[in-house]
Structure 1
Amino acid sequence: MDGPWVGTWRPHRPLGLVMAQFTTPGPKYSIPGTTGYLSHNPCKTRAPAYTFRGAKHPNAESCSPGPRYYIHPSITRNGKYLAPAVPMAGAPKAKIEVTPGPSDYFTERANKLLYRRVPAQSMAFRHEVKPALVPGPGAYTLPRVVGPNTVYTPASPCYSMGGKSKHNSYADDLAKTPGPAAYPKVELDIYNRRAPTYTM
């Protein structure tokens, strides 16, 4: 018998977890994490997630010329830009054309003139010019612009200067009763004590 041990059992390190050493239900239950999108802790607020996507693959058929074509810097959207420059060539030779001048035309030889006139070699009298039978400037009158009856301008208020009406005036007797002047003056001796009178 080797020491206080019974049988073939000897002290050794445990090969796995011993449930008797834990006061909790054990590692069977785990708290969800607070990072990531999947299996997030439902008790915590989940922040928006962004993905890191790779570069976009180039299309096989491109609709733009791309850098394969070289465009000259002087070509703009408004056309080709050229800086001001002085030509070094000689002056062009001007071609002189012989054209008729003003003295080569004769208006006197025209068959039809614009205004009627007496022939140059005629002894006849000039025709009397008949006056045109059209109304002159004084035949028309402009519409009035002052007063109540105007055509195209707004009329201002008009006030008449007529006399006063006798109907319902201050001198009209509306009550139709006698006034104070309709009764004669009563002597004071009639309703008061008569004073003594003296004769000379």
Structure 2
Amino acid sequence: IAAKLRGPGSGRYKLPSTCGFKGHDFTQHMKPAYSFGKRLGNSFISSNKCSPGPVYYIEPRYTRHGKDGTPHYSILGRPLNPNTFKTPGPGKYQNEKVHPQGEIHAPKYSMGSRTRYRQCDSYPSPNNYGLPSLLGSKVINKVSSASYSMTGRSLTGSFDEDLAKTPGSARYSIVDPNIYRKRAPCYSMLARRYMPGDKTTKPGPGAHHPEMVVINRPRAPQYSTGIRHSEYITPFVNESTD
């Protein structure tokens, strides 16, 4: 029963190390730890990373009197839209078409443009005014007279009525006489019926065996094989009366 209980063995428990200083067993005494320093090359000593020192770079444009006033120039970038600086050249000007100043101009006439439409010009003409009607039922501020109207022409009896579209005598259904008179006897034809008969399977002449019938004649004796009895069954002993 104890063999069925399987627990972790001694190899499953991990004890802390007693060497070094990382993860050292706190229950044991730890010795002092030493490390090796990094070797500094000649390039590291000669570079500015060793120490700042008195090595400072001062730009030449700064003097003891301040910043010098010499102009500085730079190259600008390409403009985005070159057409903005597309100024006309000297050949674009036509000085011969310009009238000399101080001389008298000949009269010039031109066809003026259509004047601008003003809101104050929107007055209706006299023919736009209309007086209300004094006939009919819609008279303003006055008692209206009697109003009569003509109805539309009826389709029945009009000149455009198609008499061929009227229903004839054959279109009316005839009333069944059985409704208003004594009802006559009614007969109906039944469906076809089949003659009743026995549909069970009947044996034919070849299905009979008269030679096997022995009820009306003597029959030879017949023997059969007995049943095998078990050896462990006690035989039946009949007690004799003698």
User: Fold match, TM over 0.5?
Assistant: no
Ranked by relative contact order (alpha carbons within 8 Å, sequence separation 6 or more), the top structure is: 1
* TM-score normalised by L of structure 1: 0.19
More helix by proportion, 1 or 2?
2
* TM-score normalised by L of structure 2: 0.17
Structure number with larger C-alpha Rg = 2
